[in-house]
Structure 1
Amino acid sequence: MTETIPVPGGSVATRIALLSGPAQAQARAAATCTPGLAADPWSFDTVPGYGPGASLADPVPAGTPRQGELPAEYREAGAAELDERILRAKAALGSRVVILGHFYQRDEVVRHADFVGDSFQLARAARSRPEAEAIVFCGVHFMAETADLLSGPDQAVVLPNLAAGCSMADMADADSVAECWEQLTMLYGRAPESGGKQPVIPVTYMNSSAALKAFCGENGGIVCTSSNAASVLEWAFERGQRVLFFPDQHLGRNTAKAMGIPLEAMPLWNPRLPLGGNTPERLLQAKVLLWNGFCSVHKRFTVGQIDQARADHPGVRVIVHPECPMPVVDAADESGSTDYIQKAIAAAPAGSTFAIGTEINMVNRLAAQHPEHTIFCLDPVICPCSTMYRIHPGYLAWVLEGLMTGEVRNRIAVPDAAAAAARTALERMLAVRP
Structure 2
Amino acid sequence: MTVSVPQRIGLSPAKSCNPKLADGPWEFDALPGYGPGSSETDPIPDATTRPGQLPRAYQEMPAEQLHARIRSAKATLAERLVILGHFYQRDEVVQHADFLGDSYQLAKAALAKPEAEHIVFCGVHFMAETADILSAAEQQVILPNLAAGCSMADMADEDSVQTAWEEICEVYGVDPENVTPGPDGKLPILPVTYMNSSAALKAFCGRHGGIVCTSSNATAVLEWAFARAHRVLFFPDQHLGRNTAKAMGIPVEQMPMWNPRRALGGNSPEDLQQAKVLLWHGFCSVHKRFTVSQIDKARADYPGCRVIVHPESPMPVVDAADAAGSTDAIRKYVAASAPGEVIAIGTEINLVNRLAAEYPDRTIFCLDPVICPCSTMYRIHPGYLAWVLDELVEGRSPNRISVSPDVAAPARLALDRMLAAAPK
If the length of structure 2 is used for normalisation, what is the TM-score? 0.95
Deviation at 1:431, TM superposition (A): 2.0
Output one character per residue of 1:88-142: Cα deviation in whole Å (capped at 9) or x when no partner: 1111111111111100000000000011001121121121111111000000000
Aligned match of 1:126 in 85, 110, 113? Answer: 110
SS in 1 for 2:100: strand
Q: Is residue 60 of structure 2 the alignment partner of residue 71 of structure 1?
A: no
Amino acid in structure 2 at the alignment position of 1:77? M
Aligned length: 417
| 1:380 alignment partner, SS class | coil
Given residue 216 of structure 2, which amino acid in structure 1 is its aligned partner?
S
Measure the CA separation in 2 of the matches of 1:251 and 1:391. 25
Note the C-alpha offset of 1:66.
2.9
1:95 aligns with 2:79: yes
- Superimposed CA distance per residue, residues 253-272 of structure 1 (whole angstroms, 9 cap, x where no aligned partner): 00111111111100000000
State the one-letter code of the partner of 1:158: I
Q: 1:368 to 1:185 in 2, by over 3 A?
A: same
Matches within 5 A, 1:92-241: 92-190=76-174, 191-241=180-230
Shift of 1:15: 4.2
Paired residue for 2:389?
A: 400
The whole-number CA distance in structure 2 between the counterparts of 1:71 and 1:106 is 21
Correspondence 1:42-53 to 2 at 5 A: 42-53=26-37
Q: Describe the superposition over 1:264-309 as per-residue Cα deviations: whole angstroms up to 9, x where unpaired.
A: 1000000000000011111111010000000000000000000000
Alignment CA distance shift 1:187-1:64 (3 Å): farther
1:16 correspondence with 2:6: yes
Shift of 1:72: 1.1
> Do the aligned residues in 1 keep the contact of 2:5 with 2:16 (CA within 8 Å)?
no
Residues 315-354 of structure 1 aligned to structure 2 (within 5 Å): 315-354=304-343
SS of residue paired to 1:99: strand
Stretches of 4+ aligned residues off by more than 6 angstroms = none
Q: Deviations over 1:409-429 (max 9, x none)?
A: 100011111101000001112
Relative distance call for 1:286 and 1:66 in structure 2 (3 A) is: same
Q: Contact conserved, 1:141 with 1:166, CA < 8 A, in 2?
A: yes
Paired residue type of 2:394: T
- Quote how far apart the aligned CAs of 1:70 are: 1.2
In 2, Cα distance between equivalents of 1:250 and 1:69: 33
SS at match of 2:110: helix
2:357 and 2:21 mapped to 1: Cα distance? 22
Native 8 Å contact 2:30 2:47 kept in 1: no
Q: Give 1:295's aligned residue.
A: 284
Q: CA deviation at 1:194?
A: 4.4
Q: Distance in 2 between matches of 1:322 and 1:69?
A: 33
Superposition TM-score, scaled by structure 1 size: 0.93
Percent of pairs with identical residues? 68
Out of 10, 13, 38, the position equivalent to 1:28 is: 13
Residue identity in the other structure for 1:364 = N
1:189 and 1:199 in contact (8 A); partners too: no
Per-residue CA deviation, residues 1-37 of structure 1 (Å, 9 max, x unaligned), is xxxxxxxxxxx944435799xxx9xx423x1111211
Q: CA offset at residue 172 of structure 1?
A: 0.4
Q: Distance in 2 between matches of 1:194 and 1:266?
A: 24
Unpaired runs of 5+ residues, structure 1, are 1-11
1:214 aligned partner, one-letter code: A
Residue 272 (1) aligns with residue 256 (2) = no
8 Å Cα contact 1:100/1:136 also seen in 2: yes
Q: Report the secondary structure of 1:86's partner residue.
A: helix
- Quote the offset at 1:193 in angstroms: 2.9
CA distance in 2, matches of 1:222, 1:97: 30
Aligned to 2:249: 260
Contact 1:67 1:163 in 2 (8 A): yes
* Aligned CA distance change for structure 1 residues 415 and 378 (closer, same or farther; 3 Å): same
Q: Distance in 2 between matches of 1:209 and 1:404?
A: 30
> Take 2:150 and 2:5, find their aligned partners in 1: how far apart are those partners?
24
Stretch deviating more after TM superposition (285-294 or 65-74)? 65-74
Which amino acid is 2:344 matched to?
A: A
Q: 1:342 is paired with a residue of what secondary structure?
A: helix
Alpha-carbon distance in structure 1 between the residues aligned to 2:54 and 2:258:
40
Contact 2:310 2:324 in 1 (8 A): yes
Whether contact under 8 Å (2:237, 2:312) holds in the other structure is: yes
CA distance 1:275–1:63, shift in 2 (3 Å): farther
Answer whether contact 1:269 1:277 (CA < 8 A) is retained: yes
SS in 2 for 1:50: coil
- Please report how far the alpha carbon of residue 349 of structure 1 lies from its aligned counterpart in structure 2 after TM superposition: 1.4
